[in-house]
Structure 1
Amino acid sequence: MTYLNRLHYQLFIVAFIFVTLGTTNHVHAFGKRATPVIVVPAKMTDLAPVAWYSGSIFSRNEAMVAAEVSGRLIMVANVGKTIKKGQVLAKLDGTLAKLEVAEFKAEVQQEEAKRKFLAQEVARLKRLAKTNNAAQTLLEKTISERDTSRAELAVAKARLEQANFRLKRSVVRAPFNGTVVNQTLRMGEWVNSGNAVVYFVDTTSLELRARVSLSALQYLQVDDELLVKENKNQHHMVIHSLVPVGDPQSRLLELRLQGLFGNMAIGQAVRIAVPTAAARNVLAVPRDALVLRRAGSAVYVISDDNKAQRIAVQTGIASHALIEVSGNLKAGDQVVIRGGERLRPGQEVAIKKAAQP
């Protein structure tokens, strides 16, 4: 290497050192880079211990939709079809019902004509009776027949209404918006009144149901918010129904929760965090702040001069992402939640960003 080349090389090294020292703010006076960390403040909060229970997603509206009259099925909605409230789920052959309607319409007309004739006859006999040209017994008999005719007309009208009802009910309609999940009877089969035709489910109105220990009842009430885990996702849902009656064998009671279900499907399994004791106001840090060693648990607190201090702590209630700690620590202390694995007491750090637990 020539003298000129050596001079250029030395100048390059000196320039690199000055640029490096002038542009980084994460370097010690001795040339060691400060360790980047993420911190959050320790805080006072209400925590309660929880137990995890399994639950499932259910529809709030589901029904085995049954026929209200007997007949042969001539149409059944296909499985998977979405149908709005009031639309047709199934149809029965309505021929017999139509004939009954026609028969009872004629009967009503006949009884109306009879009642009209007897009413006129009573009026005529009353005029004749005033001049002693009609027997009183005949008048009384005609009045009785007129009154009987009125009753028979009422019966005929009731039969006509029943026939119209049976004709109308030969069409099975959706009781709410939903999807056909299963056909219990097929087109062409005979269905009796009360037989289920389709299993129909509302897939948009959902709720979470779980059975939890009776011992948790004293720590639960309607409108409480509970944490729900579904795969890798977490949700907060609200208790909308609490059945305060336990099964005598399992000692479990039923909870029902509502909230935003996103892409969750009916039948999907989830886990629910249920409190097992009353909440207490404690000093808490994120679980990620704990440094676990054989000697015990500790957290790293960052001082005002960006130095790490190792503080031994004792842990208590753990709830979701937070855990209770006690020791030489107070609310507001900045504790490390990322980058603390290789820290040493007194080591200088660079706070990358603040985050909330």
Structure 2
Amino acid sequence: MNTTYPYFSLASIVLTLAIVLPLQAQGKAAPPAPVRTAVVQQKEIATQKPFVGTVRPTQQAILGSAVDGRVIEFNYEEGDRVENGAAIAQLLTQTINLQWEAAKAELNVRKAELEELENGTRPEEIEQMKARMLAAEARKRYLELRRKRAEDLYNNQKVTSAEVRDEAVSAADAAIQAYLEAKAAYDLGVAGPRAEQIAQAKARVAMQQAVTNELEDRIKKYTIRTRFDGYIVKKATEVGAWASAGGPIAEVAHLDSVDLVANVPEQDIPYVQVGREVTVVVFAYKDKPFKGTVFSINPSADVRSRTFPVKIRVKNEMVDGKPMLKSGMMGNVLLQAGERKTATLVPKDAIVLGGAAPMLYVVVKSADGMTVKPVAVKVGEADESLIEVIGEVQPGDQVVTRGNERLRPGQAITIIPPTESQSVGS
């Protein structure tokens, strides 16, 4: 329905009247009125109903502290945007940092011990052990010969004492043991560390690594981070406050896309389909409709109202870096609430109101040109810019959509082509 005259300026209207009134006074016909027209359509539409809903974030989380500690930093204010992984707040970590440094130092010691075992005995150490073994072997041979001489002098020639013989025997036995010890040390050096020793060293490294990791993980918990993009909608603490494990720090809401949650009665739920595109009008922006998609239907109804929560997902728009649609806003959404039917549709601008009933002008073509006739109609369901009409209107008819409020029955018209300037007559 037209309420303004967008295609004709005041000057053109005055000029038309200046031409038409003298012609009428002389009994002459007025020139054809310039109008725009559209073709009547016929297509399937569905009954739609408006449902009131509330804007909700698609994600919302209360960030809490996993450990006890003093808040020393709070990096954002309410309304600030935060990115995924951003550090919202920091707790004091001086004591645990010292423990972590000590644990890392101990880990380095354990790793060095393991590396020493895995590398085996150095060649220089093996040469040193070999030299000791050869020296022990030489001393053993010398003392064995000395013992043999002492025994011969004592047993056969009777020229030495038992004490001298016993001393020689004892020295030879000690030399043998010293040689065996040196040889065993050399053999161990050549063989290298046992597998069991390396396994024990690896276990000690793993144990210390676990201690270090545990402290490092605890340090991370002293930094409170968000796990998705969003906006700080609530601060629950301040710098200097004590944060308890499990206590709230801040609340973050994701508003890049939002959900309009509407409660739909059970009799209308069978006609709501997930994935269908719908139009959302938020009360704060009545002149700016948003496109949305039915995202989900909660299968559990409110037992008191017998309504089912339906989420309509809407992509938010940013103005000066802030989201237009904010949590808690209210709006309407048109949802299908009946079976689909075939209807006759015209543009809403074709309907003329103000009389006893809605009407529209249908173009009548003849050999003398084009005129219009008024047709009374009943209006039905709306389908975006089109509306259902019931009356003597057929698909394919032309109806006037611009200039119709100035027309009279039977008046001659001329149709302005769609390609002409929108300011015709100005």
TM (norm. structure 2) is 0.63
Residues in 1 aligned to 2:273 and 2:404: alpha-carbon distance in whole angstroms: 40
Residues 255, 306 of structure 1: alpha-carbon distance in 2 compared, 3 angstrom cutoff:
same
Residues 238, 38 of structure 1: alpha-carbon distance in 2 compared, 3 angstrom cutoff:
same
- Equivalent of 1:178 in 230, 247, 256: 230
User: How do 1:140-155 residues align onto structure 2 when only pairs under 5 Å count?
Assistant: 151-155=203-207
Report the counterpart of residue 66 of structure 1 in structure 2. Answer: 64
Q: Does 1:30 align with 2:81?
A: no
User: How do 1:42-81 residues align onto structure 2 when only pairs under 5 Å count?
Assistant: 42-79=40-77, 80-81=79-80
Residues in 2 aligned to 1:345 and 1:199: alpha-carbon distance in whole angstroms: 65
Residues in 1 aligned to 2:85 and 2:66: alpha-carbon distance in whole angstroms: 15
- Equivalent of 2:218 in 148, 163, 166: 166
Residues in 2 aligned to 1:310 and 1:116: alpha-carbon distance in whole angstroms: 100
Which SS does the other structure have where 2:245 is aligned? coil
Q: Does 1:299 align with 2:298?
A: no
- Residue 53 of structure 1: CA displacement? 1.3
> Counterpart of 1:301 in structure 2: which amino acid?
V
- Residue 64 of structure 1: CA displacement? 1.9
| Structure with more helix by fraction | 2
> Counterpart of 1:265 in structure 2: which amino acid?
L
- Equivalent of 2:37 in 39, 42, 45: 39
Residues in 2 aligned to 1:261 and 1:191: alpha-carbon distance in whole angstroms: 36
Q: What stretches of structure 1 of length at least 5 have no aligned partner?
A: 1-18, 121-127, 134-141
Which SS does the other structure have where 2:84 is aligned? coil
Report the counterpart of residue 257 of structure 1 in structure 2. Answer: 313
Residues 223 and 238 in structure 1, CA contact (< 8 A), matched pair in contact too: no
Q: Does 1:329 align with 2:389?
A: no
Count how many residue pairs are aligned between Structure 1 and Structure 2.
Answer: 329
Q: Does 1:266 align with 2:266?
A: no
Larger radius of gyration: 2
Residues 296, 167 of structure 1: alpha-carbon distance in 2 compared, 3 angstrom cutoff:
closer
> Counterpart of 2:325 in structure 1: which amino acid?
A
Query: CA-to-partner distance for each residue in 1:129-184, whole Å, 9 max, x for gaps?
Result: 9x999xxxxxxxx9999866654543222111101111233222343333333221
- Equivalent of 1:245 in 299, 313, 330: 299
> Counterpart of 1:258 in structure 2: which amino acid?
V
Residues in 1 aligned to 2:417 and 2:316: alpha-carbon distance in whole angstroms: 31
Residues in 2 aligned to 1:216 and 1:55: alpha-carbon distance in whole angstroms: 15
- Residue 254 of structure 1: CA displacement? 1.8
RMSD (Å), alpha carbons: 4.3
Residues in 2 aligned to 1:344 and 1:112: alpha-carbon distance in whole angstroms: 100
- Residue 99 of structure 1: CA displacement? 1.8
Q: What stretches of structure 2 of length at least 5 have no aligned partner?
A: 1-14, 121-179, 186-193, 420-426
Residues 38 and 338 in structure 1, CA contact (< 8 A), matched pair in contact too: yes
> Post-superposition, which runs of at least 4 consecutive aligned residues in structure 1 deviate over 6 A?
113-120, 142-149
Identical amino acids, percent of aligned pairs:
23
- Residue 338 of structure 1: CA displacement? 4.2
User: How do 1:196-275 residues align onto structure 2 when only pairs under 5 Å count?
Assistant: 196-203=248-255, 205-213=256-264, 214-230=266-282, 231-235=285-289, 237-239=291-293, 241-249=295-303, 250-259=306-315, 261=317, 263=319, 264-267=324-327, 268-275=329-336
